[in-house]
Amino acid sequence: MEVLITGGNGLLGRRLVTALQDRGEAVRVLTLPWEGGRWLEERGVAVYQGDTRRPETLTEPMRGVRAVLHLAGMSGVWRPIQDYHAVNVTGTQNVCRVALAEGVDRVVHISSWTVYGIDLGRPAREDFLLQPFNEPSSLTKAAGDLAVQRMIADEHLPAVIVRPGTFFGPGDHLHFGRIADRLLGRKGIIIGRGDNALPFVDVDDVARGVLLALDHEHAVGQAYNLSSDQPLTQQQFLEAVADEVGAKPPRVHVPRDAVYMAAVLAERLALASGTKPAVTRLGVKVFGTDNRQAIDKARQLGYCPRTPLRDGVRRTAAWYLTQRLDRTGPRLTV
């Protein structure tokens, strides 16, 4: 089987490239024109330059493939909602329409746990209404998810929707890297009591779940949560990261409402000045509220999280410390 991966240069994409090749699949990857693809070419991956926002660049990469793993998306950057919509909604629709035109057998669309909303008071299940938090990433991820659902129902798109938790692992600059940087900079705090569950999951577990969604004969037309069945609390996670990277664990508890108001002000200042906010409302909500996913449905595919989160933190911290040393050089102590 030949598989095209959009967003194959990212954290999850790299795992899927390796996993697919290890089982003998031919892999193509769609990369943006300015992205580096040397490591892909060294692995014998067919690299196509294109942009999901430009459907005319998608036909050639998709011609003749049996499946598409649609990972490409925008998240974690301070950009207007129009930019997010162009990638997470229009880009997703473009990928799905070209897949239909090219007769692709299966599309696996990577959505997000944030489509359900935040702080629901119970584990999110796949049949919950999508009620995303009012910010660009969550809103457009939900809109893209709904667009795929409509195409499944109206146009018989052979797609599976995967809604992973926030995944991390070696190579994760976006989440783990930022957390570790703040802890080492002694800027870490605990929002509220710190006993709320965080929605983190090891990236290797997510990759295995995506492959199950790709392979299972009854997965088409369904949505599946992929997360950890043993989440860590905010305080446990931050303490684990601090311990592994050699930082002092955060001890200062700040009321959630106070941090949220600071985020509101930071975002307003960023909009006015054209800068990036030091803290965002979404970040406060993710870290300061209890967020869990039910994974019973994914277990029907054979999904079972294998990597305890503390083990994931340990190996990601080892990567972080290595790349930090490469970046800063050894320190001379007297």
CB atoms inside a 10 Å sphere around CB 182: 16
Q: Is the pLDDT of residue 251 over 50?
A: yes
Q: Give the amino acid at 112.
A: S
Average pLDDT over the chain, rounded to an integer: 95
Sign of CA dihedral 11, 294, 3, 54: negative
If one counts the domains in the chain, the total is 1
Half-sphere exposure of 137 (CA within 13 A, CB side): 17
* Structure tokens that stand for 5 in this block: 């991966």
**C-alpha span between 125 and 225 (Å, rounded):** 7
318 found inside a domain = no
The residue segments making up the domain with residue 106 are 2-169+199-229+292-307
Partners of residue 68 on adjacent β-strands: 4, 107
pLDDT tens for each residue of 87-116: 999 999 999 999 999 999 999 999 999 999
- pLDDT over 90 (residue 74): yes
Q: What confidence score (pLDDT) does residue 328 get?
A: 61
Please report which confidence band the pLDDT of residue 76 belongs to, taking 50, 70 and 90 as the band edges. Answer: confident
Q: Is the pLDDT of residue 330 over 70?
A: no
Residue 35 pLDDT: 86
Asked if residue 299 is part of any domain, the answer here is yes
Residue 6 lies in a domain: yes
Instruction: List pLDDT tens digits, range 16-66.
Output: 999 999 999 999 999 998 887 889 999 999 999 999 999 999 999 999 999
CA 112 – CA 32 distance, rounded (Å): 22
* Residue 81 CB contacts under 8 Å (≥ 6 apart), including other chains: 136, 139, 140
The confidence score (pLDDT) of residue 121 equals: 93
Residue 36: the pLDDT is 77
On whether residue 103 sits in a domain, the answer given is: yes
Read off the tokens for 278.
């030091």
Question: What CATH number should be reported for the domain holding residue 7?
Answer: 3.40.50.720
d(CA 177, CA 313): 11
Is 215 among the domain residues? yes
Residue 325 has pLDDT above 90, yes or no: no
Does a structural domain hold residue 130?
Answer: yes
Which tens digits make up the pLDDT trace of 257-315? 999 999 999 999 999 999 999 999 999 999 999 999 999 999 999 999 999 999 999 99
What are the residues facing 325 on neighbouring strands? none
Looking at the DSSP bridge assignments, the partners of residue 47 are 29
Q: Is the pLDDT of residue 332 over 50?
A: no
Residue 213 lies in a domain: yes
Residue 257 lies in a domain: no
Tell me the pLDDT band of 209, cut-offs 50, 70 and 90.
very high
For position 329, what pLDDT does the model report?
55
